[in-house]
Amino acid sequence: MKRRDSLKLIGAAALTPASAFGSSTRFIKDPKPSVRIAHLTDIHISSDRQVVSKFVDCLHHLQSQQRPADIVFNGGDCILDSLHVKEKSKVEDQWRTWDSVYHNEMSLEVVHCLGNHDAWAAGSKSDPLYGKKYALDKLQLEKPYYSFDRFGWHFIILDSTFLLEEGAYNGKLDEAQMDWLKADLETTSKDIPILVMSHIPILSATVMYEDHIKQDKYYEVPGAWMHIDFHDIQRLFMAHGNVKLCISGHMHLIDQVQYNNIHYACNGAVSGNWWSKQYYYQSRAGYAMIDLYSDGSFDHEFHHYDWS
């Protein structure tokens, strides 16, 4: 979490509700609504009572919407941090709080994605739950990446965190996952629209930090902020031709980028500035509500909520 203390943002993040971003192109008149999803990301739950209370406020806000979500997409970083934590008991304490809040306060179905802070990368390597296995166990996932068809759409959930040495990572798919993604796209009908969820942005404007302008000539974007294999991924997307929307979190900032007719939305953070403030730079804590339509178009709106 050093990023939050050391960097300043050039106005890359949007302040207005994402409805101001507009809708994707409508291919048919009055397309049939397929599903409304809520995208919550970067929750960073801990056992701190104030943090728990604020997260409960978010879940109540979400579930009291006049037009409720049909399903929730959890974008990762469920817990405050296990990436740099050696003691297993401290990791367990965070996941215990996660379990308690979700079981007591969440009534909707949830689709999970792993975040970098969900990986236990500083503990004993001999422990069977070391690395991503701990999070997979807690989120009841067989694999860190997977796909499924539902609501007339194909959904791809990626594992963005490529672990390096202890506590370090890049945004990247390993070779096995890249091969899997290629095969998954090839076996998906081109008649079905695709939504991709990753924790780390595949492409985002939020990585343009002022402190990373080098010699007033170019930006240096660390590999931990955005996928370093973006070009390989987008080539796969372009070859398939039916990827419509890619959603992510990680940066705690809000943006939407359109590149080659694919929309990339970085949907802020439920925890704002890691629960210390509602704003992280210009982006306020909240979550996205996304309406997907039968023709592959969508509407995207960001919702803020107040902390008690």
Q: Record the pTM.
A: 0.90
Q: How many helices and strands, by DSSP H and E, does the chain display?
A: 6, 17
Helix (H) or strand (E) holding 6: helix 3-6
| Structural domains of the chain ordered from first start | 34-296 (3.60.21.10)
**pLDDT in single tens digits along all 308 residues of the chain:** 333 333 333 233 333 344 445 456 566 666 777 899 999 999 999 999 999 999 999 999 999 999 999 999 999 999 999 999 999 999 999 999 999 998 899 999 999 999 999 999 887 888 888 899 999 999 999 999 999 999 999 999 999 999 987 778 999 999 999 999 999 999 999 999 999 999 999 999 999 876 667 767 777 888 999 999 999 999 999 999 999 999 999 999 999 999 999 999 999 999 999 999 999 988 999 999 999 999 999 999 999 998 86
129 burial via Cβ count (<10 Å: 0-12, 13-18, 19+): middle
Q: What are phi and psi of 59, to 5 degrees?
A: -65, -35
Coil vs helix vs strand at 119:
coil
